Structure 1
Amino acid sequence: MEFLIKATQLIMSLSILVILHELGHFIPAKIFKTRVEKFYLFFDPWFSLVKKKIGDTEYGIGWLPLGGYVKISGMIDESMDKEQMQKPPESWEFRAKPTWQRLIIMLGGVTVNLLLGIFIYAMVLFAYGSKYLPNENVTDGIWCVSPLAKDLGFETGDKIIAVDDEKPQAFNSVFESLLYAESVTLERDGVTKELALPSNFIAQLLESEERILFAPRIPTIISGFTANSNAKNAGFEKKDRIVSINDVETKYFDQFQLELQQHKGENISVGVNRFGEEILLSVDVTNEGTIGFMPSNLSLNQLEELGIYSLNSATYSFLESLPAGYHLAIKKLGSYINQFKLILSP
């Protein structure tokens, strides 16, 4: 049943998009007094599910849900009707119209798609607003989660200052900026340095199949335990936040991992914050350097609630969301174009 519901939702969504796209061709054609012979949702080879002729136009629903079309007189389209083109042009045919009118009719569908994308972005901003982690608020630097990041010269704790001399506003835009960059300006241990990206960076990224190179650093919060967990046997609980090992502060999970590797096969004292109360627990570390728990994968909102990061947020009225949606759509479009260029690059 769930599959049928989702399939129906998908078909309905695609139907709306198809109708709006075809209206982009249909409306200017009507405005320029060009005859539209058919307006169809889905394709109708051999037969139609529903059809009705109003004026010169037959409106219908086909049985093949692979799109839709408008059949405009004097224009070869999805119907591939070439017979009409062999006759002398009539005033109401597409081919008899001025070039600028034909161009508007042809671009109508794409224009509607673009306007619809802007409207969708605007409504998302209107309903949910925007929220992001400013790059400057990543005060303790990045967490290198990929071996490739280290191969490129990044280290956990590095602060990204600029990418090709341009300061990134949002942290989540840094990775995409690297795709087109030649160098990165870092701050490491209080010292600013320049890191040159190799010319085959994209090739290395594709070979590694890594989705991300680095992420914001996160605290160590227990979400669950492994089988035969030393941590569970020692009295650790879910949602415990580990803050130290043998009195050495481990504010972030990467620090906890690094410190734990120094105590393989030993018994250690672990400082835990449990609902605001600081407690000490003694636990044995395995020879592999683990104590048997799974860390929480925290969202940015959860990290903000814990006071780890401060996010920038904005809400929009309906009128404010329209220009904001436009700028966001243009930004996304530019990003897609740049990524497409990378695909075509040798």
Structure 2
Amino acid sequence: MEIFIKVVQFFLSLSILVIIHEFGHFIAAKAFKTRVEKFYLFFDPWFSLFKFKKGDTEYGVGWLPLGGYVKISGMIDESMDKEAMKLPPKSYEFRSKPSWQRLIIMLGGVTMNILLAIAIYIGMLFTWGEEYLPTESLKYGIVVDSVGAKLGLQNGDKILTLDHEKVENFNKIPKKLILDEVKTIQVLRDGQHIELQVPDGYLSMLIKQKSPKFISIRFPFEVDRFVKNSPAKEAGMEKGDIIVGLNDV
């Protein structure tokens, strides 16, 4: 059943892409009063699965799922239809249109694909948005390395603002420190608001740092569950215990 669902999803996705692409050619041709003889989803050699005619255009579904097509009057392959090329072009034919109109008709499909991609991207952002960890949500503060310590930061600090400006996304703090040449860092430490003066030359320290993670999120080592025959459980540890050190370290 799962395989069947995936196959249906594949053909549905392919159908949407093909229809939108071909609709780009179709609508551009119609805009310049060019006759469209056929508009097909999938190819129809010998026969079609479904078709109907409205106006000058035959709409249908072919049986060969390798794409689709629109047949536009006057779009002639010069190497294969030399007799048709000898006839004078009619006003509704593709070959009678100015070159800029022919170009727009030919680019219509690609243009629709680009617009579809933009619409899908906007829809994804609207549905899921940008995922990040808000700086104010760092319950246990930060962990710093030697470079972070030289900036005056300590383990457990909660960064409030940089130069008194809030930074919503925690991951953007290192970049903002470098690009904005921050002078002060406001932190919450042991319940007190403290303003740190960023030392001169900190930019060179950050640039020389091999890893940009001179500050990272602090997580507690809290016991959630034990494996079978766990030595830790036998030693007396319980669920909810927080590990603060090993061998007094």
The interval holding the TM-score normalised by the smaller chain is 0.5 to 0.7
Matched, 1:52 2:52: yes
Q: Which amino acid aligns with 1:82?
A: M
Deviation at 1:141, TM superposition (A): 6.2
Relative to 1, partners in 2 of residues 1:161 and 1:63: Cα closer, same or farther, differing over 3 Å?
A: same
After TM superposition, the structure 1 = structure 2 runs for residues 95-174 of structure 1, keeping only pairs within 5 Å, are 95-133=95-133, 140=143, 161-162=174-175
State the partner residue of 2:85: 86
State the partner residue of 1:69: 69
Q: Which amino acid aligns with 1:83?
A: D
Superposition TM-score, scaled by structure 2 size: 0.59
The 1-side partners of 2:15 and 2:236 are apart by 56
The 2-side partners of 1:239 and 1:63 are apart by 62
Q: Which amino acid aligns with 1:120?
A: I
State the partner residue of 1:269: none
Relative to 1, partners in 2 of residues 1:160 and 1:129: Cα closer, same or farther, differing over 3 Å?
A: closer
Relative to 1, partners in 2 of residues 1:139 and 1:103: Cα closer, same or farther, differing over 3 Å?
A: farther
**SS in structure 2 opposite 1:132?**
coil
Describe the superposition over 1:129-185 as per-residue Cα deviations: whole angstroms up to 9, x where unpaired: 4332479x995469xxxxxxxxxxxxxxxx98459x757xxxxxxxxxxxxxxxxxx
The 1-side partners of 2:205 and 2:104 are apart by 53
After TM superposition, the structure 1 = structure 2 runs for residues 286-297 of structure 1, keeping only pairs within 5 Å, are none
The unaligned stretches of length 5 or more in structure 1 are 143-158, 168-188, 198-212, 249-346
Relative to 1, partners in 2 of residues 1:82 and 1:192: Cα closer, same or farther, differing over 3 Å?
A: same
Deviation at 1:61, TM superposition (A): 0.9
After TM superposition, the structure 1 = structure 2 runs for residues 1-346 of structure 1, keeping only pairs within 5 Å, are 1-75=1-75, 82-83=80-81, 86-88=85-87, 89-133=89-133, 140=143, 161-162=174-175, 192-195=205-208, 219=219, 220=221, 230-231=231-232, 234=235, 242-248=243-249
**SS in structure 1 opposite 2:90?**
coil
RMSD value over aligned CA atoms?
4.2
**SS in structure 2 opposite 1:130?**
coil
**SS in structure 2 opposite 1:246?**
coil
Which of these two proteins has the greater Rg computed from alpha carbons? 2
Q: Assess if the C-alpha contact under 8 Å between 1:141 and 1:160 holds in 2.
A: no
Among all aligned residue pairs of Structure 1 and Structure 2, give the percentage whose two residues are the same amino acid.
58
The unaligned stretches of length 5 or more in structure 2 are 146-171, 181-201
Relative to 1, partners in 2 of residues 1:76 and 1:2: Cα closer, same or farther, differing over 3 Å?
A: farther
Total equivalences in the alignment: 193
The 1-side partners of 2:85 and 2:48 are apart by 27
The 2-side partners of 1:3 and 1:139 are apart by 46
Q: Assess if the C-alpha contact under 8 Å between 2:19 and 2:41 holds in 1.
A: yes
